[in-house]
Structure 1
Amino acid sequence: MIKPSRRSKYKNIKVVDGDQKFDSAAEHRRYKWLALLEKSGHIQNLTRQVTFVLAPKVLIHGIAKRSLIYRADFGYLDVATGKQVVEDVKGTLTAVYKMKRHLMKSIYGIDILETK
């Protein structure tokens, strides 16, 4: 059963589908589509919430600061091209996201596929 919850700052509605939680209805729809693509053999190794470390944890003026991370909505292998794909469902491109997108390209050489 799909259960919507309250709206967030960007007006997305979180969705719970069985034991899986999604940050938005759009992310849930995209996951369902990608799952069908995986089942049909077009993509492989579909994973959710793929984490990349953009900067390690540090001490700033004696205060421990967490690692700077980027968590992509999906990662998978495109069978046709043989390329690994990192994908994010975006309604709003925030300044923080744009910075992390830049770091993903400069550190890992990865262009994030942005879907709506």
Structure 2
Amino acid sequence: MTRMSVAQAKQLGILDKPKKHKYGAIRTIVDGIPFDSKKEAVKYQELKLLKMAGEIVELELQPEFVLQEAYIRHGKPIKAIVYRADFRAKYKDGRVVVMDTKGFRTKEYLLKKKLLLARYPDIEFVEC
């Protein structure tokens, strides 16, 4: 098998092509904010309208939840396991809802969701 260098690949135009998302999602920009998919961008626009109407008091994008703290094993640092949702909205009635837009539910996502709900049992979690 013959291998080519990065320079040769660029010369042939192979590396200049935009990378497609693994699951077919199309990156979309709304209000200067890049979203991983059109579905996520549409959900943001819905939540933004609810905020403008006064139903939502606070809207946070990409909130992070620590599922397992970082630690050191045999002298080597092990990174924390973090779940990053798409949105966290605080409604005027006091409810706090964590939302994730999913087109495809991977095994990693399902595992992290279970860990999230076990570690934070009071969270109201919604898949959009």
TM-score (norm 1): 0.86
Letter of the aligned partner of 1:101 in structure 2? Answer: K
Equivalence map 1:1-116=2 (5 Å)? 6-80=19-93, 82-109=94-121, 110-115=123-128
Verify the 8 A CA contact 1:6 1:14 in the aligned structure 2. Answer: no
CA distance in 1, matches of 2:19, 2:91: 34
8 Å Cα contact 2:51-2:57 kept in structure 1: yes
Provide the identity percentage.
Answer: 35
Q: Name the Cα RMSD after superposition.
A: 1.6
Distance in 2 of aligned mates of 1:78 and 1:64: 39
Q: Deviations over 1:38-84 (max 9, x none)?
A: 1001112011000111111122343222110001100011224x210
SS of 1:47's partner is strand
Q: Decide which structure has greater strand share.
A: 1
Query: Which deviates further from its counterpart, 57-66 or 31-40?
Result: 57-66
Question: What's the CA shift string for 1:11-46, capped at 9, x where partnerless?
Answer: 101112343111111100100110001100111201
User: Normalising to structure 2: TM-score of the pair?
Assistant: 0.78
Q: Identify which range, 106-115 or 28-37, moves more after superposition.
A: 106-115
Further displaced range: 11-20 or 21-30:
11-20
Cα gap change, 1:40 to 1:6, in 2 (>3 Å): farther
**Rg comparison, structure with higher value:** 2
For structure 1, the 5+ residue unaligned runs are none
**Structure 2, unpaired ranges of 5+:** 1-17
Letter in 2 for 1:33: E
